């Protein structure tokens, strides 16, 4: 990953910004949202994503230490994924988040049960925490 950051450094114009934006591994909550209440089914196992998370953080620390970039800003914010049903959510996660998140059978069973027990309009929500960091390209590199 450090090599990729070196290539980004080469491609950026002087004073350019590197933007690091990605979900943070933090056992994202899975909830059933009804008009009058929010029911927490449990937390998504996003541990497979933690390895990439740590590697990205380590690569950026190395690039900063080598003076490729200087940190300029950091923020985190919630980002909600919303579906109409547990089945729709499960299908989406299975198809799109392979290697990033695992829907354990116990969690799915709880979510289906809570969905059945909630009457009226409802949605299924997974809230991720997103990190957004910017880094200024430095002109002089010291390796």
Residue 8, pLDDT > 70, answer yes
Nearest Cα to 129, choosing from 5, 22, 34? 22
SS3 assignment, position 29: strand
Q: How many whole angstroms separate alpha carbon 46 and alpha carbon 64?
A: 27
- For residues 140 and 60, which has the higher predicted lDDT (pLDDT)? 60
Q: What is the mean pLDDT of residues 61-82?
A: 96
- Give the per-residue pLDDT at 26: 83
Whether residue 20 contacts residue 136, with contact meaning beta carbons closer than 8 Å, is answered with no
For the chain, give every domain's residue range.
2-137
- For residues 100 and 90, which has the higher predicted lDDT (pLDDT)? 90
Global model pTM greater than 0.85: no
Q: At what angle do helices 2-11 and 47-65 cross, to 10 degrees?
A: 50
Locate 1 and state its tokens: 């990953």
Establish how many alpha carbons lie within 13 A of residue 41's alpha carbon, considering only the half-sphere containing its beta carbon.
30
Residue 110, pLDDT > 60, answer yes
**Span 37-66, pLDDT tens digits:** 999 999 998 888 787 888 899 999 999 999
């Amino acid at each position: 990953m450090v090599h990729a950051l070196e290539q980004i450094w080469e491609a950026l114009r002087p004073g350019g910004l590197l933007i690091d934006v990605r979900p943070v591994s933090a056992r994202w909550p899975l909830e059933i949202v009804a008009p009058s209440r929010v029911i927490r089914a449990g937390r998504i196992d996003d541990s497979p994503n933690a390895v990439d998370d740590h590697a990205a953080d380590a690569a950026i620390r190395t690039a900063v230490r080598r003076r490729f970039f200087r940190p300029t800003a950091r923020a985190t914010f919630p980002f909600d994924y919303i579906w109409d049903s547990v089945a729709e959510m499960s299908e989406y996660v299975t198809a799109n988040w392979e290697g990033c998140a695992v829907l354990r059978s116990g969690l799915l069973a709880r979510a289906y049960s809570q969905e059945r027990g909630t009457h009226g309009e409802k949605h299924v929500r997974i809230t991720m925490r997103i990190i957004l960091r910017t880094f200024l390209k430095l002109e002089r590199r010291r390796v």
